[in-house]
Amino acid sequence: MPRLSDSMEQGTIVRWIAKDREPVQRGDPLAEIETDKASVVYEADHGGVLERVASEGDTLPVGALIAHLLEEGEQAPSDAAPREHAPREPEPRDGREPPEPEPRDGRETPAVEAQEHEEQEQARGDGGARRRSSPLARRLASEAGIALSQIQGSGPGGRIVKADVQQAMQRAQEDEGGRVAPRPSPIKGEAETVQLTRTQELIARRMAEAKATIPEFTLQSEVDMEAAVAVRDQLKVIAQERATAAPSFNDLIVKACALALRRHPKANGTYRDGAFHLHSAVNIGIAVATAEALLVPVIRDADRLSIWEIASESRRLAGAVRDRSITPPQLSGGTFSVSNLGMYGVEAFTAVINPPQAAILAVGAVSQRAVVHDGELAARHGMTVTLSCDHRILYGADAAEFLGFIKDLLAQPLRLLV
């Protein structure tokens, strides 16, 4: 299993693209692998004859054997056979998923060799024989009302994995001519079970981890955007002359955050193992929603980019997310995040910190509001921003100064253009 992102600890083989025991050339696609960031097509490092070891649906740690690339006529080494005790999928406890391993800020971490013993399931009606199965497979089978004794495992050593249960569910659906679903509730009616993708499972785990482990506090402030609106109108004119897209309000916000992070390095840091880790690069993640999930591509070295470069990069990354061409490196290495729901008319909200980052800025809509300006009541463009902070590294005064600097930059947007 290759390491396809800096925080990847395990991957799931979604499907094999290359056929078993057939030759492939260097660069040929071998398999689609779902990581903690996205689904990626893994290509052959060199030519040879592919001999699969792992099956579709298997979740394995980085470094685990998934296939051989053999020379013509070469036999797979006997000592490289898959282990009988395959690594198990994370076991839920009390209905909660275990926390995802913490990203290492761009540094690769050693692959953790699976040493946990194989859990065994007592299947009903199989004469007392024990069937090896993953926790996820057992949960799916239980929800679908399928006995494990009726399923043939395709994993190493005959282990029953998620794909085996899904195939059994499909067969049951075809046999019964209906949809396999949990028993209907007399009050709630029938319920359709929608299994999360690996990306959705990761988001769920990391958000639960963030709320459970980070001592969070929030600051909220109103930003005077009257000058920013005027500057953006001028940028639209320039963009028409250049035949390019004009920077958005979010691009101005990203630039302001980047400069503020350079001025306040603790906001660009990480708390880990009783120490502050202050990052030299200012890499800002921008939350992009898709139909299936929320992904956060990263604008690298945002403090060194012009507002036009930020606008170009943010559009390129958002487009890659939406057409599913985004790569794990483009989703890795963020040191701070911006989440903007202003385009949906949301005035204010609180975003969940993306661990191990120190903070995230939630941005509301830019709209006209009644304010007191120069001693008089006036209608001016404003915007509400909410900063969520990890109190282990950012204290109240630090966070207030950081947020105040962002406000000053947005209120005087010409400082963002020089």
Can you spell out the DSSP letters for 314-360? HHHHHHHHHTT---GGGGS--SEEEEE-GGGT-----PPP-TT-SEE
Q: How far, in Å, CA of 409 to CA of 393, rounded?
A: 24
CB atoms within 10 A of CB 142: 13
The tally of CA atoms less than 13 A away on the side-chain side of residue 248 is 14
Long-range contacts of 87-96 (CB under 8 A, 24+ apart): 87/10, 87/59, 87/60, 87/61, 87/114, 87/116, 88/114, 88/116, 88/118, 88/119, 88/134, 88/135, 89/59, 89/134, 89/135, 89/136, 89/162, 90/135, 91/119, 91/135, 92/135, 92/139, 96/208
Query: Is 85 annotated as catalytic?
Result: no
Which one, of 357, 410, 99, lies nearest residue 228 by Cα?
Answer: 410
Long-range contacts of 66-73 (CB under 8 A, 24+ apart): 66/1, 66/13, 66/31, 67/30, 67/31, 69/24, 69/44, 69/45, 72/23
Which of 68, 85, 277, 391 is catalytic? The answer is 391
Q: Which amino acid is at 378?
A: A
Region for residue 347 given its phi and psi (left: phi exceeds 0; alpha: psi -120 to 50; beta: otherwise): alpha
Can you spell out the DSSP letters for 55-112? -TT-EEETT---EEEE-TTPPPPGGGSPPSSPPPPPPPBTTBPPPPPPP-TT---PPP
> Token match 């320039």: residue?
238
- The radius of gyration of the chain from alpha carbons, rounded to an integer in Å, stands at 25
Which one, of 290, 341, 311, 414, lies nearest residue 299 by Cα?
Answer: 311
Q: How far, in Å, CA of 236 to CA of 339, rounded?
A: 23
Which one, of 6, 15, 55, 53, lies nearest residue 34 by Cα?
Answer: 15
Would you say 113 and 121 are in contact if contact means Cβ atoms under 8 Å apart?
no
User: Active-site positions?
Assistant: 391
